[in-house]
Chains A and B, each alone.
Chain A
Amino acid sequence: MAKMNLLQAINNALITAMTEDEKVMVFGEDVGHFGGVFRATSHLQEKFGKARCFNTPLTEQGIIGFANGLASQGSVPVAEIQFGDYIFPAFDQIVNETAKWRYRSGGQFDVGTLTIRTPYGGGIAGGHYHSQSPEAFFAHCPGLKIVMPRDPYQAKGLLLASIRDKNPVLFMEPKRLYRASVADVPEDDYELPLGKADVVQEGNDITLLGWGAQIEILQKAAAMALEDGVSCEIIDLRSILPWDVETVMSSVMKTGRLLINHEAPLTGGFASEIAASIQERCFLYLEAPIARVCGLDTPYPLAHEKEYMPDETKTYEAIKRTLHY
């Protein structure tokens, strides 16, 4: 075990993957000698050479197009998009190419070895273009897996599983936790399962569901609620696509209440999908409407970042409303 922050855990996972399999290649804007703008790829070029860890020109559609081709050839690309906000030039490559490669060829060809890493989320004074949480755009796209870790331990295990998974994975890293979140992380190789949620805290009165950096917010809200005698169950969804409906269902059948929290805007956010599925499956168990505590339906604001965020007090108030419905 070693104390690592989230960036170090990512870096450690990449070293583990590149050491084990020489077909793993890491590339993107500034990821080479510089080690990435957040330093997630520090020293990889020194360790593994310029052919396996390299800078690309500044072209997101090019990075993902290149990565698609490389994956279809049998290499194992881990492509970095510097900020989730800049992934949209690659939207066509991801949605029309990555996601459909296996299907359109009847399984003859695939890009299952591809992993796309990108930092997402706010709380770093990044304004519109360094703060977005675009997971729902991609959750609408069959053929992709989407994974969002909450801490360094989760990040390493989930990233290794993503790199080795036989399907393309969009791995979204909570950038406000990059240095803020520190945990004991095994130095050995380990994987955590994709498509499986994690029950972070057991409780009886309400289920709080989130992912990535919002798990911390749910824990703070749960602590506030506990002072009122409310016992919260906290679930980290971890994988947005495919998502673990079973774990959420069994929790909601126990607590009778569900609150979903995400940073992305409310309308069309992934909470909508979860709410629809859970009411279909747990209608007679629900004692209150499913609550969503999300970002506002505005572009991500700079000066009003605090006001925009679905923070612990907004979550706490929603817990109370749900319990007293």
Chain B
Amino acid sequence: MENRNHLAAVKTTNKVEIISNGVVDIPMLQILTAEGEVVNNAVEPELSKDEALKIYNTMEYIRVLDERMVGAQRQGRISFYLASTGEEAASVASAAALSKDDMIMSQYREQGALAYRGYTTEQFMNQMFSNKADPNKGRQMPIHYGDKPLNFMTISSPLGTQIPQASGYAYGQKMSGKDVVTICYFGEGAASEGDFHAGLNMAAVLHCPVIFFCRNNGYAISTPAEEQFAGDGIASRGLGYGIKTIRVDGNDPLAIYAATQEARRIAIEEKCPVLIEAMTYRLAAHSTSDDPTGYRSRDEEDKWRAKDPIARMAKWLESKGWFDEKENQKRVDKARQDVLAAMKSCEKTDVCAVEDIVEDVYDTPPWHLKEQLNDLKAHIKKYPQMYPKTAGRVK
């Protein structure tokens, strides 16, 4: 037995001493203050004007998209939406620190990462209207995006399942010999799932180049973090698994960028996982099916509104002389119009033909699916008024 690592480094003691507090204090990296000033002695990450503006513009675009789509859901145009208001920096600035060849395996509130990769307004709309132009063929609820060309794995609803999957994906990347990583996003609530434990432990033991990115946004639907876990956040667990860990201010785009960049470097050079815990706040409701007034106060929300990552970055950009208020307003107005226009056109696009219902269950439909499709088509032809979305196109 080599490396019997559970005994090798253990010191002995002659006192009955139960350890109570956390043995390590995990600080939170902050580069920008809530007012958007660079913290004393902090080192700004190297970001060109273009890169910095791309991060800012993407965050702002996502805020526009979120506002419009929550509105669209209220109007009954889509069935469901899930906004990331207040958390834009977490997904956008982390995605900005990656290579486009890195795989993203997200939870469901990382539309910012997808937009940063280049997902267009029209692509967002096609998914949300479940139409035939959605590469996922309209098979999942709104916001369950997936796009192979952008290396963004299709989202599934069950919480935490992507965590061990990301470990496996990263192991495959390592075996392929390419210098790429997988980033895996999840919330602090999902970190209570067994898959969190399984995924982190496996990544550590099997040396997988994966970045675990936890958005600790304070709430899992209505359950506050203090009813989710009793330890020191999620970061403390990383240490327990033997995973290199950093905690960052989740509303500070520069801190997130710097931490993710460093995590990526370590994951590739040392072939190991890194855990990032981003301390942020879900200013939005959990989803359009949720109403936060039932479980938290306006005061609490206002405190976090004051730490808004977008306003914070705008101030930093201004200090650099990179921010043009007029241009910015123009871009926001255009984004609003684009979203509305795309919504109008994409909501009219047909859903896939009924024949698609049996595709992709297997690589080719087996006999029983073909038989069921034929029965279904015959039935639709008999009762076309019951199936208006597909009846006119049944072959």
Contact = CB atoms under 8 A, between A and B. Distances in A.
Contacts of A106: 134-137, 139, 146, 360
Interface in B120-139: 134-137, 139
B146 A68 contact: no
Contact of A59 (B136, B172, B198, B368): B198
Contacts of A77: 168
B167 A66 contact: yes
B136 A105 contact: yes
B169 A143 contact: no
Interface stretch (B150-158, B212-220, B246-254): B150-158
B117 to A, nearest CB: 14
A57 B140 contact: no
A96 B158 contact: yes
B231 interface: no
Contacts of A73: 103, 168-169, 172-173, 176
A167 B368 contact: no
B112 interface: no
A107 B359 contact: yes
A126 interface: no
A69 B144 CA distance: 18
B195 A65 contact: yes
B362 A143 contact: yes
Contacts of B158: 92, 96-97
B139 A66 contact: no
Given A62-B198, A106-B137, A69 B366 contact: no
Contacts, number: 158
A57 B202 contact: yes
Interface string A125-167: 0000000000000000011010000000000000000000011
A245 interface: yes
Nearest to B174: A51
Interface string B177-199: 00000100000000000110111
B306 to A, nearest CB: 39
Contacts of A97: 156, 158, 161, 165
Interface in A214-250: 242, 245-246
Given A69-B168, A73-B173, A75-B175, A109 B206 contact: no
What class of interface size applies to chain A in its complex with B?
A: 35 or more
Contacts of A112: 363
B361 A143 contact: yes
Contacts of B166: 69
Interface string A93-112: 10011001111111111101
B164 A69 contact: yes
A195 interface: yes
B146 A108 contact: yes
B366 A67 contact: no
Contacts of B148: 105, 108-109
Nearest to A242: B366
Contacts of A56: 202, 205-206
B347 interface: no
Nearest to B139: A104
Contacts of A143: 361-362
A102 B137 contact: no
Contacts of A92: 158, 161, 195
Given A72-B153, A105-B154, A66 B146 contact: no
A70 interface: yes
B204 to A, nearest CB: 9
B363 A104 contact: no
A123 interface: no
A90 to B, nearest CB: 9
Given A62-B201, A89-B194, A108-B148, A102 B168 contact: no
B26 to A, nearest CB: 24
A96 B158 CA distance: 8
A74 B206 contact: no
Contacts of A96: 156, 158, 161
B108 interface: no
A178 interface: no
Contact of B361 (A71, A75, A103): A103
Q: Give the residue among A23, A62, A110, A145 with the most B Cβ atoms within 10 A.
A: A62
Given A66-B198, A104-B139, A107-B360, 20 more contacts: A23-B175, A56-B205, A56-B206, A61-B195, A62-B199, A66-B167, A68-B165, A69-B172, A73-B103, A75-B175, A92-B158, A93-B195, A102-B361, A103-B361, A104-B156, A106-B136, A108-B148, A108-B154, A112-B363, A145-B362
10 contacts: A56-B206, A62-B164, A65-B164, A65-B198, A66-B164, A69-B169, A92-B161, A96-B158, A100-B156, A104-B140
Interface of B: 103, 105, 134-137, 139-140, 144, 146-148, 153-154, 156, 158, 161, 163-173, 175-176, 182, 194-195, 197-199, 201-202, 205-206, 359-363, 366-368
